Structure 1
Amino acid sequence: MSQPVPSDQTCINATRIWLEQAVIGLNLCPFAKAPYIKNQVRFAVSHARHLDSFLETLDQELQLLAASDANEIETTLLIEPMLFADFLLFNDMLDLAEAAVHDNNLDGIIQIAPFHPQFQFADTAADDMGNHTNRSPYPTLHLIREDSIAKATAAIADPAVIFEHNIALLHQMGRQGWEALAIPTDPRLPE
């Protein structure tokens, strides 16, 4: 018997723990703390039952972020707890998500970063700890203002060092260190 879809609050709470413990706590994204503590991160939970409905929700969230003052909504986390339990299906959807950015005339304004409980970079093993840089409690699209990225990275000589540091940190932590963070995951997804 399958477990019920988690409530919006369950999804948001798990995502907040992930942000606090991993993204901010491990400094995986040095730009995440400021908008989070200023309450400028929008948490949106999709209720889509099919791909078309999810893409409509994505369109709405892209338009909302583009129309909002960055001091009110700096960034959006669009959480999808129902459709993309399979990472390969999620990964296939990313081309459509990128097309939505283009279709909404937001190229160069908003970009999307993907996160998934089973995220796997190309040419890595599923259990490679480096994959945890993009592992979240639920399938999530991070909608990011490109000008915010430009401002944040301007202060860093080589932004690529962030990714390299994160991979090294996660390998050093190992599975036991990651599990000690106690980040909730969707119990409906396979381990």
Structure 2
Amino acid sequence: MLDSPPQPQLPANSDTHDAIVAATRHWLVRAVIGLNLCPFAKGVHVKDQIRYVVSDARDVEAMLAALETELRTLVEADAERIDTTLLIFPHAFADFLEFNDALFFADRLLEQMRLTGELQIASFHPQYRFAGSQPEDIENYTNRAPYPILHLLRESSVERATQAFPDAAEIFERNQETLRRLGHKGWRHWMQEQAQDDAPGRT
């Protein structure tokens, strides 16, 4: 039975933060952009409008504190400078079901902050599993990242991107077909190759 690759072994030194961001950026460039899993991602990456934040949170309470800070930061920031944020949790939520349960509180916080309709939260996880799927199903890899991640997006940007890509509703099905063609062996080989554009992003 195949499952997702183990999380990267991170160095226990001052470079850990940089290593986490580098691994996340590699996944973004190689998988999300390289396989065109999200046709909206390349523009904000090229324009250096993605903010990468590594959280030391180890439980839901600390996760929500970090999330609140980043939601405020994003909503107050100039969209031309920071369009979207990847909030990374390398020390928490190793279990996907625990992470999935925590998303309820993340969405509730968004509502409590009265930011529903202005911002939205997407999620990625090393063991991501769609409802009704098996852990080894290759289709799950469309949402598998090196670490648990909350992706904070501006509703206005999502709307503009959707208008630019009228077939946006078909992206999910297309992504799953892409992963089925690639297969587990193809995925591992693809991700092991060096991305050509791991350009620095905002942290």
Normalising by structure 2, we get a TM-score of 0.86
CA RMSD of aligned residues (A): 1.6
Normalising by structure 1, we get a TM-score of 0.91
Percent of counterpart pairs with the same letter? 48
Distance 1:125 1:155 in 2: 34
Partner residue, 1:46: 55
Q: Is 2:168 aligned against 1:164?
A: no
Distance 1:162 1:110 in 2: 21
Report how far residue 100 of structure 1 moved.
Answer: 1.2
Alpha-carbon contact 1:46-1:80 (below 8 Å) kept? yes
Alpha-carbon contact 1:75-1:144 (below 8 Å) kept? yes
Q: Residue type matched to 1:117 in 2?
A: P
Deviations 1:13-63 (A, max 9, x none): 100000110000011000000111111000001112332111111000000
Distance 1:67 1:131 in 2: 34
Q: Residue type matched to 2:18 in 1?
A: Q
Partner residue, 2:107: 98
Alpha-carbon contact 1:75-1:142 (below 8 Å) kept? yes
> Aligned to 2:191, what secondary structure does the other structure show?
coil
Report how far residue 158 of structure 1 moved.
Answer: 3.0
Distance 1:66 1:84 in 2: 26
Report how far residue 183 of structure 1 moved.
Answer: 5.4
Partner residue, 1:182: 191
Distance 1:159 1:143 in 2: 19
Alpha-carbon contact 1:5-1:82 (below 8 Å) kept? no
**Runs of at least 4 residues off by over 4 Å:** 3-6
Alpha-carbon contact 1:14-1:183 (below 8 Å) kept? no
Distance 1:147 1:71 in 2: 12
Alpha-carbon contact 1:44-1:77 (below 8 Å) kept? yes
Shift in CA distance, 94/183, structure 1 to aligned 2, threshold 3 Å:
farther
Alpha-carbon contact 2:31-2:191 (below 8 Å) kept? no
Alpha-carbon contact 2:31-2:37 (below 8 Å) kept? yes
Alpha-carbon contact 2:139-2:180 (below 8 Å) kept? yes
Structure 1 gap ranges (5+) = 185-191
Equivalences, count: 182
Partner residue, 2:5: none
> Aligned to 1:181, what secondary structure does the other structure show?
helix
Structure 2 gap ranges (5+) = 1-8, 194-203
Partner residue, 1:87: 96
Partner residue, 1:11: 20
